[in-house]
Structure 1
Amino acid sequence: MNPDFRYPWLSFRNAYLLVMLVMLGSLPLSKYVASASQIILVALWLVEGRFPEKWKRFRERPAIWVSILIVAVLLIGMLWTRDIAFGFHDLKLKLPLLLLPIVFGTIPQVTHKELRFLLLGFVLAVFTGTLFSLSIMLGFGPADYTSDRETSLFISHIRFALMIDLAVFILFYYIVNPGGKMGDRDVKTGDRRSPLQGRSFAFRLLPFAVYLIVFLFLLKSLTGLVVLILGGMILTLRWGLKQSDLMVKWFVVVSVATLPLLVAVYLSDQVSKFATVRDNLENLDRVTAGGTVYWHDMENRMTENGYRVGLYQCEPEMRDAWNKRSNLKYDGLDHKNQELKYTLIRYLTSLGLRKDAYGVSQLSEQDVSLIEKGFANSLYRQPKRLRVRIYETIWEVDQYRKGANPSGHSVTQRLEYLKTGWAIFLDHPWIGVGTGDTRDSFDQKYTELQSRLDPAWRLRAHNQFLSFLIAFGIIGFILIMTSLILPAILEKRFGSYFVLMFFITAMLSFLNEDTLETQAGVAFFAVFYALFVFGTDEK
């Protein structure tokens, strides 16, 4: 563009920055806008021209060549795939992994000031997304939600939790380094500070960081919490090992090593409490206060808060008493489409109440409402406590071990996914099933293994590493992981705070999610990967 143009702000540089800002800001709010902004960014790159300059940068940065190796593996995997249509769908889905490194790697890198502006724009978008979710949690939103994952309106709640993690790490960086660079560069150079710099601005960021951490606990995403805690531990350890004072160094190392032990002790205590049966099985009453005979199902070993679900059941009294208290019938369904009577039985059990007329009469209006919504334990009186999510997980695993159907339970479903996916990999260990055959391979293997999962819940691996192994085997897996990790090494970027925290967030998500098998996941990974590895030299 003509440098003498009368509107100097109307430049390709500013256009790039605007599109990048929209792209980052839309990641937690709209996958459609995120996709559209990526298309616009590539179109802008083409319209700008200057291909000799871009070709020169491309040739001088072998890391870009390596980064697009993942797409080459997908193309080669098409040679032995049977489902060509799904293979092309997967290729289309992963196009950002090809295009964004090329775009970010062949245009001038963003400056420290520009990067700060872009990243804080992303943080603001994440904060906005949490406000929508919080409004639903507090009952101000349009949705009468029955699960915490429903409060994430725009993207998967796990993906949203990962973005919250990254936003917290970004805020932490700018709180500790208010000049935007290690060593507070602006003080040394004497440059005038931006409104987004300085100690006063850093202090304003602190409440946002605290709020996002608290919100992450409210969201109760185990993946998000694990990433936050492990990321925080790695940051603390990284800082401690750099200290010259030996006492400080040892204190940090011991503290970081102690935290997992404390978590293990707490979880062990929760499992022990779960397994402890409070009922006196030696002397069970035979009739209710109203004279009706109890049924004691001794074979039912399910417990709720330490009480046996099968004991002290009197269905005639429960039915009459419940139908007088609720518009939802005892023999009908709750709001989660579960048989209401079983939700009621489990809820009464969790309170230590007997399943009879007197037990139902002891329920508060809050209890009745929770049962109608499908919540089967009194712990949901305080649903935002992390202990509730931990209890859910222990209960799921306990039921799974006893042979229950894992359908609809996030943790035990994943155990089925991993078992099935590993069996597929062992059948095709070297080159995998091909780019497009993962879905069909899972369908066949679920049938072959006679999985307990209902057909609607028979999904793919939910582990990106395993998904790579299934589709491309050991050879393809090595090539793909090389394409993801080696560019950061070649660009000497692993010393960068942002690259480190992004890789921690992304790689931990790979353990629990098919991050690169969804549009939102690919966008999240490709945008930040291209920006942090190729688009900036921020340390």
Structure 2
Amino acid sequence: MLHKTTHRKFYLFFLSSLAASICLGKFPMSVSLIGLTANFFLERDLLQKWSTIKKKKYLPIVLSGLFLVELIWLPFSEDIFIGLNVLRIKLPLLLLPIIIGSTPSLSKKELKIVVITYFAGLLVSTIWVYLVSVDLLTTTKNSGTVRDASVFMSHIRYSILLSFSIMFLIYLSIKANLNKVLSSVLLIWLGFILFKLATLTAICGLFVAILSCLPFLLKNNKNIYNKQLLTVIVIFIISAIAYLTHTVKDFYLVKNEKRSSKKESVKGEKYLNDLNDHTTENGYYLWENIAPIELEKAWNNRSNLLFRGLDHKGQMLKATIYRFLTSKGLDKDSAGLSQLSNKEIALIESGETSFIHYNNLEKRIRSFLYE
């Protein structure tokens, strides 16, 4: 049997590993959890552990009960195998409250180690994600969007994790004696990666969380760093509102209010016009001057992707073609298509709906508004 000090070191090592692996995917998390569980049982001393749980008013037991809720609902699952897989994924809900709750609390020094390793793991994962996004590392995902760069978990979960980390870092910058230069650089880096992934849910959540921090910062703005941080946050909020306002205004801007009076294409096909639909693309009305038959023929002569098929992002290709032609102010017919270069044909095939190059966040906002 190992000495208590040795078990404590193992506990701290695997807990720190778990903190770092939160950002690095399932495998390192599983290894860390197995290590914590093995150390828990090898340490024995169950009476002392139970005494620690009692001192915490059985809260670890209550938290572990969340797993039992999942277990109770298992017989009602439509697919028992899916239900078992969900239980496997949520097994930490059973183990972690018991393991951590029955172990003496971390000292300030130990807590600092765990926090540092968390941010170290986060830094490694964000660098990896960035290298994937610029095609220096490969990914198995193939949606054709920047979200493929989130290789460790879904892009939404990863973006929410980044948002939480930014808020946590702001809190530590105010409350703890952090290196202000390093924390500021890390904040800028995390913000850059978050906006590169362009997940609106996480960005909106971060924006609301930052707004909620303002009263706290206003009350604690005595030292110069807090004043600087408050200034940066206010500038960020004003800039974000101005940016969003400009993007939305530009999306709904109509360059020519007058609806089309054209009846047929140059080749004689009768245009499809829905003059009651006011959807626009780059300021031009989308659902007018559409000659689908001749456009389909012209497209299939220029591309290996079928007009009625999908583009490389899995979108309806003809809708992508309509939007791209509209963004240039062209009619949706063979004459309009003939004005596109081979490079622009390739852009349509890749799923681009506009000839204007928008950044990832603008694309997400415009996609949301279009839907």
Q: Return closer, same or farther for 1:238/1:176 CA change in 2, 3 Å cut-off.
A: closer
Residue number in structure 1 paired with 2:216: 238
Q: Return closer, same or farther for 1:283/1:90 CA change in 2, 3 Å cut-off.
A: closer
Provide the rounded CA distance (Å) in 2 between the counterparts of 1:164 and 1:371: 32
Provide the rounded CA distance (Å) in 2 between the counterparts of 1:261 and 1:132: 29
Secondary structure of 1:45 counterpart: helix
Taking the TM superposition and a 5 Å limit, the aligned residue runs for 1:511-522 are none
Provide the rounded CA distance (Å) in 2 between the counterparts of 1:81 and 1:331: 42
What CA RMSD, in Å, does the superposition of the two structures yield over aligned residues? Answer: 3.7
Provide the rounded CA distance (Å) in 2 between the counterparts of 1:285 and 1:83: 55
Q: Return closer, same or farther for 1:325/1:138 CA change in 2, 3 Å cut-off.
A: farther
| Residue identity matched to 1:71 | F
Residue number in structure 2 paired with 1:60: 55
| Residue identity matched to 1:167 | S
Deviations 1:480-503 (A, max 9, x none): xxxxxxxxxxxxxxxxxxxxxxxx
- Equivalent residue in structure 2 for 1:146, among 144, 157, 178: 144
Q: Contact 2:260 / 2:289 at 8 angstroms: preserved in 1?
A: no
Structure 1 unmatched runs, 5+: 185-197, 397-539
Deviations 1:429-451 (A, max 9, x none): xxxxxxxxxxxxxxxxxxxxxxx
Provide the rounded CA distance (Å) in 1 between the counterparts of 2:72 and 2:136: 51
Residue number in structure 2 paired with 1:391: 366
Query: Does residue 1:158 correspond to 2:156, yes or no?
Result: yes
- Equivalent residue in structure 1 for 2:274, among 298, 313, 333: 298
Secondary structure of 1:237 counterpart: helix
Secondary structure of 1:296 counterpart: coil
Q: Return closer, same or farther for 1:81/1:353 CA change in 2, 3 Å cut-off.
A: same
Q: Give how far 1:387 is off.
A: 2.4
Deviations 1:449-506 (A, max 9, x none): xxxxxxxxxxxxxxxxxxxxxxxxxxxxxxxxxxxxxxxxxxxxxxxxxxxxxxxxxx
Moved more, 275-284 or 350-359: 275-284
TM-score under structure 1 length normalisation: 0.58
Q: Give how far 1:335 is off.
A: 1.6
Secondary structure of 2:206 counterpart: helix
Q: Return closer, same or farther for 1:361/1:67 CA change in 2, 3 Å cut-off.
A: same
Q: Return closer, same or farther for 1:297/1:2 CA change in 2, 3 Å cut-off.
A: closer
- Equivalent residue in structure 2 for 1:39, among 34, 58, 72: 34
Number of residue pairs matched? 360
Q: Give how far 1:329 is off.
A: 4.4
| Residue identity matched to 2:17 | V
Residue number in structure 2 paired with 1:382: 358
Taking the TM superposition and a 5 Å limit, the aligned residue runs for 1:53-452 are 53-62=48-57, 63-75=59-71, 77=73, 81=76, 85=80, 89-143=85-139, 145-176=143-174, 182=176, 184=177, 199=179, 202-242=180-220, 263=241, 274-275=251-252, 277-282=254-259, 284-288=261-265, 290=266, 292-293=268-269, 295-298=271-274, 301=277, 302-315=279-292, 318-319=295-296, 321-323=298-300, 325-364=302-341, 366-379=343-356, 381-384=357-360, 386-396=361-371
Deviations 1:308-360 (A, max 9, x none): 32212234653465456544344543223444233211211122222234433
| Residue identity matched to 1:343 | T
Q: Contact 1:300 / 1:309 at 8 angstroms: preserved in 2?
A: no
Residue number in structure 2 paired with 1:522: none
Deviations 1:94-142 (A, max 9, x none): 3322221111112122222322222222222222222333233323343
Q: Give how far 1:152 is off.
A: 0.8
Deviations 1:70-116 (A, max 9, x none): 234445556x8365936555444433222211111121222223222
Provide the rounded CA distance (Å) in 2 between the counterparts of 1:105 and 1:98: 11
Q: Contact 1:318 / 1:360 at 8 angstroms: preserved in 2?
A: yes
TM-score under structure 2 length normalisation: 0.81
Q: Return closer, same or farther for 1:101/1:362 CA change in 2, 3 Å cut-off.
A: same
Residue number in structure 1 paired with 2:19: 24
Provide the rounded CA distance (Å) in 2 between the counterparts of 1:117 and 1:364: 57
Structure 2 unmatched runs, 5+: none
Moved more, 202-211 or 142-151: 142-151
Q: Contact 2:52 / 2:104 at 8 angstroms: preserved in 1?
A: no
Higher relative contact order (CA 8 A, sep 6+): 1
Q: Contact 2:280 / 2:286 at 8 angstroms: preserved in 1?
A: yes
Secondary structure of 1:68 counterpart: helix
Moved more, 275-284 or 109-118: 275-284
Q: Return closer, same or farther for 1:359/1:139 CA change in 2, 3 Å cut-off.
A: farther
Secondary structure of 2:201 counterpart: helix
